[in-house]
Structure 1
Amino acid sequence: MILVYTHKITPRVRYIFKHIFTRILLIPVDFTSKVEEFVAHNGPKLSYTKTPLGGEFFVKSNDLLFEQGVSDLEINMQKWDNVPCFFITGPKSSIPFDIFAASFYLISRYEEYLPHVKDIHGRYTAAESLAYKHEFLEKPVVDIWAYKLLDALKEKFPVYTYKERAYEFISTIDIDNAFAYKHKSLVRSVGGFFNDLFKFRLLNVWNRFAVVFNIKKDPFNTFEKILEIKKRYKIRTVFFFLIGDYTTFDTNVSASKNKYRLLIKEMVDYARVGLHPSYFTMQNATLLKKEKERLQDITNMPAIRSRQHYLRFSLPETYQNLTDLEIEEDYSMGYASNVGFRASTCTPFYFYDLDFEIQTPLKIFPFALMDTTLNDYMKLTPKQSLGRIRDLKNEVKAVNGTFITLFHNETLSDYLRWKGWKRLYESMIKIATS
């Protein structure tokens, strides 16, 4: 155990020290604000305050962890060796930056509470973020800083036994459209048929006809293949099912359709299943509750994990609503337009609510990349995408973090805009598990 002395033990101090020490470095941590207790402690200890007490391991504290609420901070970005960092500490400090305050700023998503320009879907954009502006979006800097801290601790306390965490991989699959043509209502099928005909998409017309009349398999029905890959590579897979009512942005098969309900029930037997709250649930707690209950009704088990459709969430409202509904895990933390680490970490963390200054029970699983980001936003080929995937995986592996990817069932269809992408999913799994 490491004992931390600080002049004031705040919820922010507890939160970020526990994240860095217990979740990243696997070192138990305790706190004291009594000097005599700190001096009497024989094991490893660290003081986090304005001036050192003696010759102990000392980190000069920034004011951020002792404040409440949100204010517009001036951030002066510098380099720690080759890694971007901020909140410089000065010569007496054992490390050159207050990584606890800097990590708290990034993980709590402090900057998302400040005034910012949203995109057309009402989302916080990558371009607004510190990580994007200072070009460290594709590096889990919080974990990198933690490991640099570990090196300094090992030098100071060489006899302490340090544990090392293991790298993990989680494949997540969003089901925005379980089927391309099957099990849609008559109105949608006929409308789609005439729409394709009107736009001279004759191949689509034939495919729709062939699928509806059971001549061909529905191209988006790739679930067997995903499960087969899951089994072969022994990976943890989570499916997020969109079961909201039909809107312009939510175009899945109706959750009242028996075939769709059976598909969800079947997936529960082989993998983890979560809720994919629909487009308009971002600030609508009633709608979110309705969809959660709908999924529970289908699976006959509590819905404890979710990912927002279109990655539409607003801090802190969406996460407060998820917490109130006893959702335990959220997988929305990432950007649609850019790959990388939105919270600058590849370690799952608990949501810290800056409105109420508390750590909540909602655990956030940040993903590193999404298929539509690579294809639609970055306009990469499958081969180019594989290079980016390998780079991100290597970043996570270097700090033994959790590498989380987001794909859709339709990516494996090799159909329409996903032509040539079928093999990418399995190639990615090979890279992620190697």
Structure 2
Amino acid sequence: MFFSEATLRWLEVILKERFGYNFVLSQKVGELTLLLPGRQGSISFDNLQEVFHQSRSDFSCEQWRASVEGFKGPIEDTLFAPSSTELSAPLIELCDQGAIIHYDILGLAYWMLSRLEEIGRTDLDEHQRFPAVSSHAYKHNYLERPIIDEWMIILGQVIQQVWPQTELRRHEFSVKVSHDVDTPSQYAFKPWPTIGRMMAGYLLKRREFKAFFTAPHVKLATGAQLHPADPYNTFDWLMDVSEANNIQSAFYFLCGRTSPVRDSDYELEYPAIRNLIRRIHDRGHEIGLHPSYGTFQKPELIKQEADRLKRVCAELGIVQTEWGGRMHYLRWEQPTTLRAWENCGMSYDSTLGYADSPGFRCGTCYEYPAFDPVAQTHLRLRIRPLVVMECSVISCMYLGLRNSDEALKKVTDLKKKCRKVNGLFTLLWHNSYFDNKELFGVYKKALQC
């Protein structure tokens, strides 16, 4: 099988970003060769995998011990190697001409980063999402490993043996935290009949007297600003925590209403929301897009909502060098939604994590340029993979780690793996997801350690 010319050029960009050199890829039947212009030698991949050019998850996964062949695994000695055939031994051979790698590292990178695995799938969940449980990574227990980053580090070790004078690009671990603003206020924008039902529940079912009185008070007292007593008004606290850790938060706002049940009850034009957006920007944090529930298969609606966000920000005098965001409910259809983000001029998307399990949906914790595997086109859009969404860890619908120590351990374990490969740890935590005081502590510790 052959890579298209567009795929080869895209993979060259991936390699340039990772290693800092303008490598050249050439191919012939059954073999892909990595060359470094101006240098002698080459690295050949001679066991190309047909499955890495297919949308499927029903093939095997091997494991390879790096130390047996004199290499160092960045996270563990054993690396996962999705493959339809048994691995050769040795897997990596050095020779006078350079090196031969008997594993399709670049094919794996193409398959994982382009999300080819997901195209045309029908094993979807109730929200029409491709779920973690359907993925090859989940089925073979490597979802919580950034396997592309691990194999790239092994490839870097081979590069330095073939071309000893190379000084590969050094990457530094970093953290990006974002907040989907699904519900900026628990009470302010709900109609009075809904407030009445909430109050009845507080009084008659749960005996929560403080909440019983807070609900109507916040509803009545919210004007041009969100009320400080509103339980979901955690925005200043979130920014305080980010600033204490030298982190810029990104707040992604819903800009449409395509589902009366799944979307929120606020409009961007409300004075309290406009003032919130202005305050976030004034404190040096980012404003982003959170397309509404019914848009993921409708590029024209995503563009309408992106234009609406940019218009409101322009009216507020907000200028940003880049615009990004995330799909509501992490709804994504590859490559339909990818193309929609590209076509409405967004800089990056951070949807690609699974709702039902945290981890590395794309096999990486590095940001990278997007690629449409159907049109075989390298896009301007960048993919910023999502590693952890808080409700994936805590909610009883998913992992259900309600114990704060267990939840924190899961989050920090994934963060440590990002650190070991000098990547980017991305955390999504909704402003409204603090239903007990312990979660404030979990959030702060997750950013600190």
Q: Same fold (TM over 0.5)?
A: yes
1:193 positional shift = 3.9
Query: What corresponds to 2:82 in structure 1?
Result: 86
Hey, what's the Cα distance between the residues in 2 that align with 1:237 and 1:39? Answer: 40
Aligned to 2:96: none
For the residue of structure 2 that corresponds to 1:429, the secondary structure is helix
Shift of 1:271: 0.4
**In structure 2, C-alpha distance between the alignment counterparts of 1:73 and 1:336, rounded to whole Å:** 18
Give the share of equivalent positions with the same residue, in percent.
25
Match among 347, 350, 359 for residue 366 of structure 2: 347
Give yes or no for contact 1:211–1:218 (8 Å, CA) kept in 2: yes
Aligned-pair CA distance for 1:115: 2.9
What secondary structure is seen at the aligned counterpart in 2 of 1:171? Answer: strand
Separation in 2, partners of 1:284, 1:39: 42
Residue type of the alignment partner of 1:80: W
Shift of 1:39: 9.7
Deviation at 1:304, TM superposition (A): 2.1
Read off the aligned partner of 1:120 and give its amino acid letter. Answer: E
CA contact (8 A) 1:166 1:401 kept: yes
The residue aligned with 1:50 is none
2:387 is aligned, of 368, 373, 383, to: 368
- Paired with 2:231 and 2:413, the residues of 1 have a C-alpha distance of 30
Provide the residue aligned with 1:295 in structure 2. 309
2:204 counterpart of 1:209: no
- In the TM superposition, what is the alpha-carbon distance from 1:26 to its structure 2 partner? 2.6
Q: Taking structure 1 as reference, are residues 288 and 162 closer, same or farther at Cα in structure 2, changes over 3 Å only?
A: closer
Whole-angstrom distance in 2 between the partners of 1:22 and 1:183: 48
Instruction: Name the SS for the 2:264 alignment partner.
Output: coil
Match for residue 49 of structure 1? none
TM-score of the pair, normalised by structure 2: 0.82
Q: Are 1:113 and 2:131 an aligned pair? A: no
- Unpaired runs of 5+ residues, structure 2, are 29-33, 66-77, 94-98, 222-226
Q: Secondary structure at the match of 2:17?
A: helix
Matched residues in 2 for 1:289 and 1:355: separation?
A: 21
The corresponding residue for 1:29 is 23
Amino acid at match of 2:9: R
Quick check: 1:429 aligned with 2:433? no
In the TM superposition, what is the alpha-carbon distance from 1:200 to its structure 2 partner?
Answer: 5.6
Kept in 2, the 8 Å contact 1:169–1:404? The answer is yes
Q: 1:152 aligns with which of 151, 158, 162?
A: 158
What is residue 16 of structure 1 aligned with on the other side?
A: 11
CA contact under 8 A between 2:47 and 2:103: conserved in structure 1? no
Amino acid at match of 2:232: F
Matched residues in 1 for 2:367 and 2:394: separation?
A: 26
Aligned ranges 1:172-183 → 2 under 5 Å: 172-183=178-189
Q: Is the 8 A contact 1:184 1:254 kept in 2?
A: no
* CA distance 1:39–1:378, shift in 2 (3 Å): closer
Q: CA deviation at 1:116?
A: 3.3
Letter in 2 for 1:78: E
Q: How far has the Cα of 1:385 moved from its partner?
A: 1.3
- Comparing 146-155 with 280-289, greater Cα deviation is found at 280-289
Instruction: After TM superposition, list the pairs within 5 Å mapping 1:190-201 onto structure 2.
Output: 190=196, 192-193=198-199
Q: Which runs of 5+ in 1 are unaligned?
A: 1-5, 47-56
> What letter is aligned with 2:394?
N
Aligned length: 406
Q: Is the 8 A contact 1:26 1:165 kept in 2?
A: no
TM-score by length of structure 1 reads 0.85
Alpha-carbon contact 2:23-2:37 (below 8 Å) kept: no
The Cα shift of 1:41 comes to 5.3
> Within 1, Cα distance between the matches of 2:113 and 2:384?
12
Could you give the per-residue CA deviations for residues 325-383 of structure 1, whole angstroms, max 9, x where no partner exists? Answer: 11121010101110100011111122211221111111110011111111112111221
Give the 3 Å change call, closer, same or farther, for CA 190–29 of structure 1 in structure 2. same
Cα gap change, 1:72 to 1:342, in 2 (>3 Å):
closer
CA pair 8-224 structure 1, distance change in 2 beyond 3 A: closer
- The root-mean-square deviation of aligned C-alpha atoms, in Å, is 2.9
Report the alpha carbon displacement of residue 79 of structure 1 after superposing the two structures with TM: 1.3
User: 2:24·2:35 contact (CA, 8 Å) conserved in 1?
Assistant: no
The answer (yes or no) to whether the contact 1:61–1:89 under 8 Å persists in 2 is: no
Using a 3 Å threshold, how does the CA distance of structure 1 residues 197 and 288 change in structure 2: closer, same or farther? farther
Question: Structure 1 counterpart of 2:151, which letter?
Answer: W
| SS class of match (1:79) | strand
Question: Is the 2:184–2:233 contact (alpha carbons within 8 Å) kept by the matching residues of 1?
Answer: yes
2:134 aligned with 1:128, yes or no? yes
Tell me the equivalent position of 1:137.
143
Query: 1:94 aligns to what SS in structure 2?
Result: strand
- Alignment partner, residue 71 of structure 2: none
For 1:80, what is the secondary structure of its paired residue? strand
Distance 1:29 1:196 in 2: 63
Partner of 2:432, secondary structure, is helix
Task: Give matches, 1:19-98, under 5 Å.
Answer: 19=14, 21-31=15-25, 42-43=38-39, 45-46=41-42, 57-60=43-46, 62=48, 70=54, 75-81=59-65, 82-87=78-83, 88=87, 94-98=100-104
Q: Does 1:266 align with 2:279?
A: yes
Verify the 8 A CA contact 2:145 2:363 in the aligned structure 1.
yes
